[in-house]
């Protein structure tokens, strides 16, 4: 084992690790000393106050100090485990501590030792006790002086890692790697490492009032108070947000220097396109179109995020943009997360611009469809469609992940549109944005769309490299959707209301969290999610046979074949289905103007953003629409979340509430950003975000290429790879 420890040293060469333990650490993503030191505690247990044994209260966490009077090992043959029991006393009484399958404790803990024990107090027939408490050897009783000398070899290890009598860090763990083991490794590394070079300029540290790196590392792993923890967390959150802002600003600068196809929209031709629309664009849509048209006309890549509520008219902006690119002689791709949504966009295009002659193809896993403005649609072999894309004969491609499959190439791809961008991972978005085979050194323009409104702090931080456009109004004539929480006692009344709507000629969606129950639900014990969770197949049987036997009830879920799903949706569009029971497969891409009720079973099982998407599937016609939220939960957090949906005036208001309730990591999804944990949790702090943004702008204003900050440049390069490639 090496004694020359550096941040880049692999953990298997660190004392006390070895190949086997290193393999376990790697499951947590910990390969080097740097990884381990930046593996921050997820929480802290406060064991700083020593209690008397006689004062312990069952159910509460506590720390006691006493002498080991007795310790023994027992064997439970029924459960095939070893049980270690120790009796510890202080001046006020005795307590029993129990550990399971930790035989090594018999070599560590001896009669006569003075130890601290920390954990939750339990009560049993033998009195109060601790189960699996943290322990710390702090000394030896007076009559054990010789024993203390014999144990001197352990004293270095004992003193190297304090587990009780203070704030105890609890880390993300995995099988074979405990918080105690991590604490044992981290403490000597922090003590043994020489000064770790600071990555942030000293002037910035002072201006932003953040802690120096070495101090912050010690405070976050071994704090005295929670105030220390907050100081350390603030430093690392600021640092990560600062790096991301640098990446965003540098990305903007890079794109400004790149070349793209200049797709100029002729004013008279654009007016003709608008005249073909069966509706007038809202003021917000017109403003966004002006922004996009201006971007497309420039010879540098557009990088724009278009946000708007469900049904606000984002799709028509994308369709018009694609036509502009095609009529300039180039190509456009339009990628959606599901086949239903991609098909919906294709049919919208064909319905409004069926006379478009330059070729529009729908490319999915199921196959390809194409039309060339002659009013006729033809099925086409995927291989033939892909060839026509490669030669440029087809100008616009609408599809799913099939657009980025191996072998798909474009001749001159000038515009990339991604719908519901939050549904794609970073790698998938990057793959399509860079799918420019045959286009030489020219990059495509990039338009990303989302019906999940993003709060300002997240937008500023996570999408700081994008220009943001917002469609903040719904098309004229749209009525506000009335949302109601339906408790179990009101279920019968709700069914009667639904029956009344169907009698008026309206249609209904019923959403369930799962398709069907599994064998695991029966054989392995029901999970929290499985208990009483409504399933599509069960609800379909109940509604079609018992509740609405006189109605036309159908079901839709992800296990159906593509042609079966298409057939069900076609019947729903034609009005030959009254009630459609489905999973979240209809979250996006369903446009049935005659549907006026969205009934959501187990509404507490879904996130607010997803519920908002469901709600937006109705209210798309002239009739008043309703969203009924069914839940059996009486928990206050559930009530707060659902009430937020009921009372939110728009998606942005709801997004802010969702952010406050769940936090940024849950709101966005960690895998979608690559942003470290502490930074994600700090994105609600607008002051911190602005401070990091201003710091990044200040550095780059003086040093645009970071040539005067070589260390910072290296860190930013690593950070860029992390947030863009994860």
Categorize the per-residue pLDDT at 180 as very low, low, confident or very high, splitting at 50, 70 and 90.
confident
314-327 and 283-297 helices, crossing angle to 10° = 30
Give pLDDT, residue 195.
83
The CA distances from residue 85 to 75, 91, 129, 133, 651, in Å, are 11, 20, 10, 11, 57
Architecture in CATH for domain 1-42+171-194: Orthogonal Bundle (1.10)
Cβ neighbours of residue 681 under 8 Å, at least 6 residues apart?
Answer: 237, 663, 664, 665
Residue 471, strand partner residues? 308
Task: Say how far apart CA 642 and CA 654 lie, in whole Å.
Answer: 10
| pLDDT for residue 410 is more than 50 | yes
Give pLDDT, residue 672.
47
Give pLDDT, residue 716.
81
Mean pLDDT of 508-514: 91
| pLDDT for residue 232 is more than 50 | yes
The CA distances from residue 14 to 161, 191, 192, 222, in Å, are 16, 14, 11, 20
Number of Cβ atoms within 10 Å of the Cβ of 224: 11
Categorize the per-residue pLDDT at 181 as very low, low, confident or very high, splitting at 50, 70 and 90.
confident
Q: Are 229 and 223 in contact (CB under 8 A)?
A: yes
Number of Cβ atoms within 10 Å of the Cβ of 360: 29
Mean pLDDT of 670-696: 74
Give per-residue pLDDT as tens, 188-220.
888 888 788 888 888 899 999 999 999 999 999
Give pLDDT, residue 507.
95
| pLDDT for residue 157 is more than 90 | no
| pLDDT for residue 436 is more than 50 | no
Q: Which of 269-283, 296-310, 677-691, 694-708 has the lowest mean pLDDT?
A: 677-691
DSSP state of 282: P
| pLDDT for residue 569 is more than 80 | yes
Sheet with 331-335: strands ordered across = 377-380, 367-371, 360-364, 396-399, 331-335, 413-418, 445-450, 303-308, 467-471
Task: Say how far apart CA 633 and CA 639 lie, in whole Å.
Answer: 8
CA neighbor of 300 nearest in space, from 270, 341, 259? 259
Pick the CATH number of 482-649 from 3.40.50.80, 2.30.110.10, 3.40.50.300, 2.40.110.10: 3.40.50.300
Give pLDDT, residue 103.
82
Give the count of alpha carbons within 13 A of 87, CB side only. 7
Cβ neighbours of residue 615 under 8 Å, at least 6 residues apart?
Answer: 310, 481, 483, 598, 627, 645
Give pLDDT, residue 322.
96
CA neighbor of 544 nearest in space, from 517, 516, 568, 577? 577
| pLDDT for residue 621 is more than 90 | no
The CA distances from residue 346 to 325, 331, 337, 686, 702, in Å, are 17, 16, 14, 40, 48
| pLDDT for residue 425 is more than 50 | no
Mean pLDDT of 626-644: 88
C-alpha radius of gyration, the chain, whole number = 31
Q: Are 548 and 496 in contact (CB under 8 A)?
A: no
Is the whole-model pTM more than 0.75? no
The CA distances from residue 531 to 485, 520, 540, 595, 631, in Å, are 20, 12, 18, 30, 13
Q: Beta strands of 383-471 (E only): which ranges?
A: 396-399, 413-418, 445-450, 467-471
Q: Are 115 and 68 in contact (CB under 8 A)?
A: yes
Give pLDDT, residue 76.
75
Residue 70 or residue 531, greater confidence: 70
Task: Say how far apart CA 186 and CA 161 lie, in whole Å.
Answer: 9
CA neighbor of 113 nearest in space, from 122, 101, 105, 103? 105
Q: What is the 3-state secondary structure (H, E, C) of 466-530?
A: CEEEEECCCCCCCCCCEEEEECHHHHHHHHHHHHHHHHCCCEEEEECCECCCCHHHHHCCCCCCC
Residue 3 or residue 645, greater confidence: 645
CA neighbor of 578 nearest in space, from 505, 500, 496? 505
Helices in 559-631 by DSSP H: which ranges?
A: 562-574, 608-615
Residue 563 or residue 232, greater confidence: 232
Give per-residue pLDDT as tens, 443-486.
899 998 887 767 766 776 677 778 888 887 777 777 888 999 99
Here the tokens at position 391 are 């030669």
pLDDT over 90 percentage in the chain: 36
Give pLDDT, residue 431.
58
| pLDDT for residue 88 is more than 90 | yes
Cβ neighbours of residue 369 under 8 Å, at least 6 residues apart?
Answer: 346, 361, 362, 377, 378, 379, 380
Residue extents of the structural domains in the chain? 1-42+171-194, 46-156, 267-471, 482-649
Q: Beta strands of 221-309 (E only): which ranges?
A: 303-308
Give pLDDT, residue 532.
54
Longest dimension (CA), the chain: 101
Determine the 3-state secondary structure of 210 from DSSP.
coil
Pick the CATH number of 267-471 from 1.10.150.120, 1.10.340.30, 3.40.50.300, 3.90.1150.10: 3.40.50.300
Give pLDDT, residue 476.
75
Task: Say how far apart CA 726 and CA 724 lie, in whole Å.
Answer: 6
The CATH class that applies to domain 46-156 reads mainly beta
Do 1-42+171-194 and 482-649 agree at the fold level? no
pLDDT over 70 percentage in the chain: 85
- Rounded to the nearest angstrom, the gap between the alpha carbon of residue 469 and the centroid of all alpha carbons in its chain is 23
Task: Say how far apart CA 645 and CA 654 lie, in whole Å.
Answer: 7
Give pLDDT, residue 158.
52
Give per-residue pLDDT as tens, 43-84.
887 767 888 999 999 988 888 989 999 999 988 766 678 899
| Residue 181, H or E segment | helix 179-192
Determine the 3-state secondary structure of 97 from DSSP.
strand
């Amino acid at each position: 084992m090496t004694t020359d420890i550096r941040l880049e040293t692999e953990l298997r060469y660190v004392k006390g690790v070895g190949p086997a333990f290193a393999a376990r650490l790697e499951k947590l993503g910990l390969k080097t000393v740097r990884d381990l030191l930046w593996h921050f505690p997820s929480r802290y247990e406060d064991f700083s106050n020593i209690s008397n044994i006689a004062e312990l209260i069952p159910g509460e966490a506590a720390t006691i100090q006493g002498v080991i009077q007795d310790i023994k090992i027992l064997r439970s043959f029924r459960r095939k485990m070893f049980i270690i029991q120790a009796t510890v006393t202080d001046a006020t009484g005795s307590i029993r501590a129990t550990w399971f399958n930790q035989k090594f404790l018999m070599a560590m803990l001896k009669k006569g030792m003075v130890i601290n024990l920390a954990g939750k107090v339990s009560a049993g027939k033998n009195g109060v006790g601790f189960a699996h408490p943290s322990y710390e050897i702090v000394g030896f009783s007076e009559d054990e002086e010789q024993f203390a000398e014999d144990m001197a070899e352990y004293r270095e290890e004992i003193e190297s890692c304090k587990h009780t009598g203070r704030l105890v860090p609890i880390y993300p763990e995995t099988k074979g790697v405990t918080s105690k083991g991590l604490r044992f490794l981290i403490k000597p590394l922090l003590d043994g490492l020489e000064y770790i070079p600071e990555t942030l300029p000293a002037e910035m540290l002072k201006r932003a009032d953040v802690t120096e790196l070495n101090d912050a590392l010690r405070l976050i792993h071994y704090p005295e108070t929670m105030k220390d923890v907050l100081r350390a967390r603030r430093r690392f959150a600021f640092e990560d947000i600062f790096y991301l802002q640098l990446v965003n600003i540098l990305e903007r600068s890079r794109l400004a220097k790149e070349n793209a196809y200049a797709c100029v929209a002729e004013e008279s031709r654009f007016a003709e396109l608008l005249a073909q629309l069966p509706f007038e664009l809202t003021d917000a849509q017109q403003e966004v179109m002006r922004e996009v048209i201006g971007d497309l006309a420039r010879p540098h890549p557009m990088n724009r995020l278009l946000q708007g509520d469900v049904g606000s008219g984002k799709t028509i902006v994308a369709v018009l943009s694609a036509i502009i690119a095609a009529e300039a002689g180039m190509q456009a791709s339009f990628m959606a997360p599901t086949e239903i949504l991609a098909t919906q966009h294709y049919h919208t295009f064909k319905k409004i611009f069926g006379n478009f002659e330059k070729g529009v193809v729908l490319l999915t896993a199921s196959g390809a469809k194409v039309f060339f403005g002659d009013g006729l649609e033809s099925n086409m072999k995927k291989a033939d469609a892909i060839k026509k894309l490669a030669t440029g004969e087809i100008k616009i491609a609408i599809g799913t992940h099939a657009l980025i499959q191996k072998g798909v190439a474009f001749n001159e791809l000038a515009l990339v549109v991604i719908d519901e961008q939050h549904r794609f991972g970073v790698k998938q978005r990057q793959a399509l944005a860079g799918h420019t085979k045959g286009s030489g050194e020219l990059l495509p323009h990039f338009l990303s769309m989302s019906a999940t409104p993003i709060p300002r702090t997240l937008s500023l931080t996570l999408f700081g490299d994008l220009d943001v456009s917002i469609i903040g109004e719904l098309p004229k004539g749209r009525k506000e959707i009335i949302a109601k929480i339906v408790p179990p006692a009101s279920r019968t009344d709700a069914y009667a209301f639904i029956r009344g709507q169907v009698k008026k000629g309206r249609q209904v969606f019923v959403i369930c969290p799962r398709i069907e129950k599994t064998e695991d639900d029966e054989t392995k014990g029901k999970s929290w999610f499985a208990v009483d969770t409504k399933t599509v197949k069960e609800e379909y049987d109940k509604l079609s046979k018992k509740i609405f036997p006189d109605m036309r009830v159908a079901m839709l879920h992800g296990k159906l074949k593509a042609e079966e799903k298409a057939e069900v949706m076609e019947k729903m569009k034609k009005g030959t289905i009254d009630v459609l029971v489905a999973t979240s497969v209809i979250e996006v891409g369903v446009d049935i103007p005659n549907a006026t009720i969205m009934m959501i079973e187990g509404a507490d099982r879904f996130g607010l953003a997803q519920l908002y998407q469901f709600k937006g599937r109705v209210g798309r016609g002239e009739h008043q629409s309703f969203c009924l939220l069914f839940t059996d939960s009486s928990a206050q957090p559930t009530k707060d979340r659902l009430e937020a949906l009921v009372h939110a005036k728009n998606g942005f208001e709801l997004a802010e509430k969702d952010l406050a309730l769940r936090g940024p990591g849950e709101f966005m999804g960690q895998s979608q950003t690559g942003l470290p944990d502490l930074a994600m949790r700090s994105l609600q702090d607008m002051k911190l975000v602005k401070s990091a943004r201003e710091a990044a702008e200040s550095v780059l204003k003086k040093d645009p290429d970071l040539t005067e900050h070589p260390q910072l440049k290296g860190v930013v390069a690593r950070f860029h790879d992390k947030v863009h490639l994860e």
